[in-house]
Homo-oligomer: A and B are copies of this chain.
């Protein structure tokens, strides 16, 4: 009889997540109660934000308790339903858990019914057409107020969100500079994704000086995925009344007890900057339009999709550790083997 394999947290994570921080357990497949529906997960979306829930401290979501199943976004197929809005066969995105089967209801956070178009792979709905793509789109438009002709800088530019943000900014007619951590990534974003310039922060002692040289006109929008020293330097490059879209601060996720100090915040006053943090679930009403536009661009070949797929639920901790050490390019996801596969 098939079981529900689940990845649990067994040690509070310190520094970069390690395989030993997690364990696999098997539990019976749950039955949906009134208003609930059962989903078989197909892909997990590996995201830096999950790191914030692994150290036992309150964050914008409650911490995952020791022994608890790790929370994370996934795409899955509805198997059984007591909810009239969600029928067996439907494909849904939601904030579920790292497990084969999840129970959802209409209030599940980030729940979105997907209507995969044509031959668009379902995995795209977890990356470019999922949280990464819509976060990049909503961040640039709703928070950044992007306009043609602006200068946009993006950190973690070879990451899932950064790579999408850069391509969207190019399609909106902007000059785009990406900040990355290796020459390979620099090459990728300029040669494959169409960024105008790339800066490898590991080879660039002064990021502010490098950005100022490439953009003497000043930066209109800094799309920040990393925080820390990069953000501190970027404060010295902004145009008067520029906007900093605070999407994430991955530089601190592995060192929440000792975050990087920011010392250039005076520039917020002197340059009249706006720094604005946002989380996608507050902008759910903007997602359908974002998705429409992104689907069009992908269908027209105007956006390149970069996926980093790990196969098999058992490899989820290793894949997550790899993501958080900065080794992956593009959207990191886990393609689930089915329990039946494992039983073979």
Interface residues in chain A, defined as those with a beta carbon under 8 Å from any beta carbon in chain B: 52, 59-60, 227, 231, 240-241, 246-249, 252, 256, 259-279, 282
Contact A269 B279 (CB under 8 A): yes
Contact B277 A249 (CB under 8 A): no
Contact B271 A277 (CB under 8 A): yes
Given known contacts A265-B227, A265-B249, A282-B241, A59 and B259 CB-to-CB distance under 8 angstroms: no
- In angstroms, Cα B267 to Cα A252, docked, is 12
Contacts of A267 in B (CB 8 A): 277
Picked from B60, B241, B274, the residue with its CB within 8 Å of the CB of A271 is B60
Known: A241-B282, A252-B266. 18 other contacts (CB 8 A): A59-B270, A60-B271, A227-B265, A246-B268, A246-B269, A247-B269, A248-B269, A249-B266, A256-B266, A259-B264, A260-B263, A261-B263, A262-B265, A267-B277, A270-B277, A271-B277, A272-B276, A272-B278
In the complex, residue of chain B having the shortest beta-carbon distance to the beta carbon of A281: B272
Contact B276 A274 (CB under 8 A): yes
In the complex, residue of chain B having the shortest beta-carbon distance to the beta carbon of A282: B272
- In angstroms, Cα B267 to Cα A260, docked, is 13
Contacts of A248 in B (CB 8 A): 269
Contacts of A268 in B (CB 8 A): 246, 275-277
In the complex, residue of chain B having the shortest beta-carbon distance to the beta carbon of A60: B270
Contact B272 A231 (CB under 8 A): no
Copies per complex of this chain = 2
Picked from B231, B266, B275, B277, the residue with its CB within 8 Å of the CB of A259 is B266
Contact A274 B272 (CB under 8 A): no
Contact A227 B266 (CB under 8 A): yes
Picked from B249, B265, B270, B272, the residue with its CB within 8 Å of the CB of A269 is B249
Picked from B60, B259, B272, B274, the residue with its CB within 8 Å of the CB of A265 is B259
Contacts of A231 in B (CB 8 A): 265
In the complex, residue of chain B having the shortest beta-carbon distance to the beta carbon of A49: B269
Contacts of A261 in B (CB 8 A): 261-263
Contacts of A273 in B (CB 8 A): 276-277
- Tell me the smallest distance from the CB of A335 to a CB of chain B, in Å: 29
Contacts of A260 in B (CB 8 A): 263
A-B contact pairs, 5 of them (CB 8 A): A256-B266, A268-B275, A271-B277, A272-B276, A272-B282
Contacts of A265 in B (CB 8 A): 227, 231, 249, 259, 262
Picked from B227, B241, B274, the residue with its CB within 8 Å of the CB of A274 is B274
Contacts of A279 in B (CB 8 A): 269, 272
Contacts of A241 in B (CB 8 A): 282
- In angstroms, Cα B277 to Cα A240, docked, is 10
In the complex, residue of chain B having the shortest beta-carbon distance to the beta carbon of A276: B274
- Tell me the smallest distance from the CB of A201 to a CB of chain B, in Å: 18
- In angstroms, Cα B243 to Cα A275, docked, is 10
In the complex, residue of chain B having the shortest beta-carbon distance to the beta carbon of A247: B269
- In angstroms, Cα B246 to Cα A268, docked, is 7
- In angstroms, Cα B263 to Cα A166, docked, is 28
- Tell me the smallest distance from the CB of A259 to a CB of chain B, in Å: 5
- In angstroms, Cα B241 to Cα A249, docked, is 17
- In angstroms, Cα B282 to Cα A227, docked, is 28
- In angstroms, Cα B249 to Cα A237, docked, is 19
